[in-house]
Structure 1
Amino acid sequence: MKLLFLGTSAGRPTLVRNVTSIALQLPDPHHRFWLFDVGEGTQHQLLRTKLKLNRLERIFITHMHGDHTYGLPGLLGSRTYYDGAGRLQIFGPPGIRSFIDHAMAASQLHLNYDLEITEVEEGRLPLEDDLFTVETAELHHRIRCFGYRISERPRPGRLDLAKLAQLGVPPGPLYGKLKLGEDIVLPSGETIRSVDVVGAPVPGRILTILGDTAPCEAAVRLAEDADLLVHEATFNAGLEEKAVAYGHSTIAQAAETAAQAKAKRLAVTHFSARYSEEDVERFAAENQSIFPNIVAARDYLELPF
């Protein structure tokens, strides 16, 4: 899996940063992706990538501020021009359904695919998926805002190939059955138990993407033991009062949240337009003493994990 940052600016775009959107590219062979927030211009950002809207499966909106939502009506409309665009699920805070319904009605937008909208509250989302579970919690912002924790389900353990050869199990479909937990019977009549030739399940990866937020307990809880945490970092140190007044965080506060949560990696994003590219890189480096594995996101940055 990997993340692709499509917009990393706070509030308004700059010449080098668009407003917020992040794509999660799912493992092969699915070739699907999810979007987290759809700021204005997101569909234009997508045109410069290999991602196609007919492979977009789900959208998660953190909150209703325009720099996270104004690209949504245009993207939904453009998706109708892509062959094979199937059902699209949207999850977001209360108000997301009204926003989409009014935009579609006022512009007479008609979609040629099924659109499902779910307004979220805290807890586990109603996702029908064999690969992932998604949890959400409300953060501390000026309006209702949610963070998302995406947990990959445990994967089957490794096959003991040496033992399978010793037992006389021929490579092929029987290997697949054993890996999926099924016992098999050889032509000789001997039963081979999956538990005897498959290792322990491999823990799934955890990704946490937070919306706009001041430091809060919910952010730490969602990010606990995450392989990758994406945290807003609108301001640098020295602007803590301004950050809390607007429901935002400094880069140092994002690093502190990652450290408290024992996350493995931190990507900071959503930077104030007052900062240059060089400023942001320097700020991230200065906060490695709080959390060493920190990276400052930029538009089109890809982070495999």
Structure 2
Amino acid sequence: MQVTFLGTSGAIPTVQRNTSGIFVNRDGDYLLFDCGEGTQRQMMRYGTGFGIDHVFLTHLHGDHVLGIPGLLQTFDFNDREEPVAIHTPAGTRGNVTQLIESTGTTPSYPVRVNEVSAGDTVLDREEYEVRAVETDHRCIAVGYVLAEDDRKGEFDREKAEEELGIPPGPKYSKLHRGEPVEHDGRTVQPEEVVGPPRPGRTFVYTGDTLPTQSVVDASEGADLLVHDATFAEDRRDRAQATAHSTAKDAAEVARQAGVRSLALTHVSTRYAGQADTLAAEAREAFDGEVILAEDGLERHVQFPDSE
């Protein structure tokens, strides 16, 4: 799972930071979370490609959605035929449709706008799912959790071959799939040579939000939590007034959830050239890895048992 930060600024883009956008390559499935102005250029700049079929919007503030018309138009210029699904918080379908049609043109390929609510399974794949999670912002908003299914347990080839005398071949595959096999006059059960299921990876993206228990619960044990960290503690009052989090707030969520890595994003322009302050304050509250997200940062999300 490769996460590319396309835009990490707050409401206003800067020379160093574009508005919100995160590209996730989950083993060849390309997913886009939020699509601020200029996102398509960031996709070209950082080499993610345009092969996305699903766009997940956290809310409809301009810095999270104004890149949609341009991106869809580029798809059209590239003769796209495959459908695109845009997932948006419940009650906002009409707004997204108006945004798509704002240029007076309609894409020549199918575009489906799907409303989602907290708790919904938004995308259900064979090996993972994307769920919507409740957040707390100044408008209708959700966050998203990409959670992989458990993986098969490790296959003990040495035991299978040396202790049980099973030669390499189709029986190994059947056992690893959880099917018993007959060998030397007895039935060999999968659990004799296959370890317990191993956890998959979990990625969480909050969008803009105050710190909330719902995000803590949804992020429990996550491998990467990307959390709103618009302000430092010097602007805590402003964070409360605008329904954003401070870096310390984000770190406290990460600590309570027991995540492995925390990435701070949606950095206010007030901290241009001083964003390290956010990381420093977060590290005081969270002992795990703290990443100050920057445009173009690529993060490979490891399996929990890879270390």
Q: CA RMSD in A?
A: 2.1
Alpha-carbon deviations, 1:173-201, whole Å to 9, x = none?
Answer: 44333222223345x66543322221111
TM-aligned CA deviation for residue 126 of structure 1: 4.2
Q: Confirm or deny that 1:233 pairs with 2:222.
A: no
Who is 1:78 aligned against? 74
| Aligned partners of 2:96 and 2:113 also within 8 Å | no
Who is 2:44 aligned against? 47
- Corresponding residue SS for 1:268: strand
Q: Confirm or deny that 1:116 pairs with 2:112.
A: yes
- Corresponding residue SS for 2:218: helix
Alpha-carbon deviations, 1:41-78, whole Å to 9, x = none?
Answer: 00000002232212x13211000000000001211222
Cα distance in 2, alignment partners of residues 105 and 20 from structure 1:
22
Q: Confirm or deny that 1:24 pairs with 2:28.
A: no
Who is 1:176 aligned against? 173
Cα distance in 1, alignment partners of residues 160 and 80 from structure 2:
42
TM-aligned CA deviation for residue 108 of structure 1: 4.2
Who is 2:277 aligned against? 282
| Aligned partners of 1:151 and 1:205 also within 8 Å | yes
- Corresponding residue SS for 1:47: helix
Structure 2 alignment gaps of length 5 or more: 302-307
Cα distance in 1, alignment partners of residues 79 and 106 from structure 2:
15
Alpha carbons of structure 1 residues 81 and 10: separation in structure 2 relative to 1, 3 Å: same
Deviates more, 1:59-68 or 1:95-104: 95-104
Cα distance in 1, alignment partners of residues 179 and 104 from structure 2:
52
Cα distance in 2, alignment partners of residues 155 and 234 from structure 1:
36
Q: Which amino acid aligns with 1:234?
A: T
Alpha carbons of structure 1 residues 128 and 290: separation in structure 2 relative to 1, 3 Å: closer
Deviates more, 1:63-72 or 1:146-155: 146-155
TM-aligned CA deviation for residue 94 of structure 1: 2.9
TM-score if structure 2 supplies the norm length? 0.89
Who is 2:257 aligned against? 261
TM-aligned CA deviation for residue 287 of structure 1: 3.0
| Aligned partners of 1:3 and 1:23 also within 8 Å | yes
The runs of at least 4 aligned residues of structure 1 exceeding 6 Å deviation read none
| Aligned partners of 2:209 and 2:228 also within 8 Å | yes
| Aligned partners of 2:229 and 2:244 also within 8 Å | yes
Who is 2:56 aligned against? 60
Deviates more, 1:135-144 or 1:11-20: 135-144
TM-aligned CA deviation for residue 266 of structure 1: 0.6
Cα distance in 2, alignment partners of residues 105 and 253 from structure 1:
38
Alpha carbons of structure 1 residues 197 and 80: separation in structure 2 relative to 1, 3 Å: farther
TM-aligned CA deviation for residue 95 of structure 1: 4.7
Alpha carbons of structure 1 residues 172 and 276: separation in structure 2 relative to 1, 3 Å: farther
Who is 1:202 aligned against? 198
- Corresponding residue SS for 2:18: coil
| Aligned partners of 1:147 and 1:222 also within 8 Å | no
TM-aligned CA deviation for residue 101 of structure 1: 2.3
Aligned partner (choices 218, 237, 245) of residue 249 of structure 1: 245
TM-score if structure 1 supplies the norm length? 0.90
TM-aligned CA deviation for residue 172 of structure 1: 4.2
Who is 1:8 aligned against? 8
Cα distance in 2, alignment partners of residues 53 and 173 from structure 1:
39
Who is 1:296 aligned against? 292
